[in-house]
Amino acid sequence: MSGLVVDTSVWIDFFSGFEVPALEEALATGTVVLPPVVIAELISGAQEAEARDLLRDLLLDLEVHPTPVDHWVRVGELRRMLLSKGISISTPDAHVAQCALDRDAGLLGRDKVFRDVARHFPLRLVPFRRTLSP
């Protein structure tokens, strides 16, 4: 398994009109992987019904990372191990990171906590770059 796991903040930038080359390339090649919590976060932030419908249509075309019980056990273990090193991580961020770890996929996110995770686990961070579309 591999692909590109994309965090919510990157999607928000993308939908706000920023060019995000790594995300655009992964969309073009069909290698985007969605953590389920990212779907929920994106849908909850779409205030208009039309925007939610368009978003749902896009998301239905993308691969969703499976999250059986053992995935959630690993999410909890990741949080526990990071906390033992003095790093606090939310369950949603730990879930996103664990999705990337489970797949040996790149993670595209701009939150500092992912850099903290990568210092202690083999999380492959994809450099985040964005530019405002003309």
Domain contains 110: yes
**Residues written for the chain:** 134
Domain contains 107: yes
Q: Which residue has the higher pLDDT, 58 or 10?
A: 10
Domain contains 21: yes
Q: Which domain holds residue 108?
A: 4-127
Q: How many domains does the chain have?
A: 1
Q: Which residue has the higher pLDDT, 134 or 89?
A: 89
* Residue 21 structure tokens: 């080359």
pLDDT at residue 133 greater than cutoff 70:
no
> For 29-71, how does the pLDDT look when each residue is reduced to its tens digit (9 = 90+)?
999 999 999 999 998 988 888 888 888 888 899 999 999 999 9
Query: Do residues 34 and 62 lie in contact, with contact meaning Cβ atoms separated by under 8 Å?
Result: yes
Which pLDDT value is given to residue 10? 96
Domain contains 132: no
pLDDT at residue 22 greater than cutoff 70:
yes
Mean pLDDT, the chain, whole residue set: 94
- Looking at 19-23, 42-46, 74-78, which range is the least confident one? 42-46
Domain of residue 70, CATH code: 3.40.50.1010
pLDDT at residue 1 greater than cutoff 80:
no
SS3 119: coil
Which pLDDT value is given to residue 49? 84
Strand bridging mode 63-64 / 4-6: unpaired
